[in-house]
Amino acid sequence: MKPKIAIIPGDTSGIGPELIARLITSDGVREAADILLIGDRHVLEAGMAVAGCSYDLDPVDPGTDWTGTAGVAFYEMATITPDAVEVAEVTEAGGASVLRTLDQALEFTQNGVTDAIVFGPFNKASMHLAGLGHDDELHYMAEKLGVDTYISELNTLDGMWTSRVTSHVPLRAVAEMISEERVHEAVHLIHRTLRRSGVERPRISVAAINPHAGDNGNFGTEEIDVLEPAVKKLAETQMSVDGPWPSDTVFLKAVAKEIDAVVTMYHDQGQIALKLLGFDRGVTVQGGLPIPVSTPAHGTAFDIAGQGRADVGATRAAFDIACDMVTHWHKE
């Protein structure tokens, strides 16, 4: 059976509605999954106008069998008025719209109406204006879904994945937050996610935190004290994991397809590499949730919002990954 994917447009002020229009009308998308669009009709129609494409919105009752519609299945909400949509602006109204549509998508997927969620780019500043009390949307979703175990954003590009031991924290706090337990959690999370994406035996490398992997303790001892023991214990469980590798060379292994994933120590360590390699193709997967959730890794791009210039590549990749994860979700 085809995956059932809930899609929400993201921040109404950004490129999300345009990207969703381009996605829906891309070759093979509607053949790959049954899609349930969630949101305001005027927002989705505005996205079509900007993208220069169109599709029929077919209102459905999610409590019944909503698949097989002639148009695109559509659950209509009233989250923002047309006059409150301010293109390329951070607004409380835009953030409130995001939170309401996200809540609905989470509810549908948690209850089995849909199997996974793909969302257009969010703007955290708008969400915080609207009352988001968490660092990011991942922690918001985790609370909504009752998750109290390890979670982390995962990023992927052309089959190359990264996870993080620390994420949205000041750089000065990173070293003291690195522990064997957190390294183990980050490795296990990306190993499980790769399995759920169809990789039978993931090959994982752990990045160092210090220059030249500490140079035998000359530039820091985290590699000797924490990372090397953590990797050794993981390898003893028969996982394919090695390191720590200097972070300025470990991604060469990934580009050469010698490994599937890099576990990084902090946010930019992996993000710089992936975004340099393919900014318009990168995907963020919300790791550690009980349901598949993905989104393009780029942001709301206010600088080009409303201009019809947004590249759908990363959104299409997020959609494809969500479909793959639904298919392989039972794998650990």
Closest CA to 284 of 273, 269, 299: 299
3-state secondary structure (DSSP) of residue 197: coil
| pLDDT per 10-residue tile (average), the chain, 332 residues | 96 98 97 98 98 96 93 97 98 98 98 97 97 94 96 93 92 95 96 93 97 95 97 95 96 95 95 88 94 96 97 96 93 66
Task: Give the homologous superfamily in CATH for domain 1-147+290-332.
Answer: Isopropylmalate Dehydrogenase (3.40.718.10)
Q: Which two tokens stand for residue 78?
A: 């009233």
- Terminal CA-CA length for the chain: 21
Locate CATH 3.40.718.10 in the chain. 1-147+290-332, 152-288
CA atoms within 13 A on the CB side of 145: 27
The Cα-based distances of 124 to 156, 163, 212 in angstroms read 21, 21, 35
Whether CATH 3.40.50.620 fits 152-288 = no
Q: What is the pLDDT of residues 304-314, one digit of tens each?
A: 999 999 999 99
Q: What is the pLDDT of residues 76-87, one digit of tens each?
A: 999 999 999 999
> What's the chain's average pLDDT?
95
Residue 179: the pLDDT is 97
Closest CA to 126 of 101, 103, 145, 99: 99
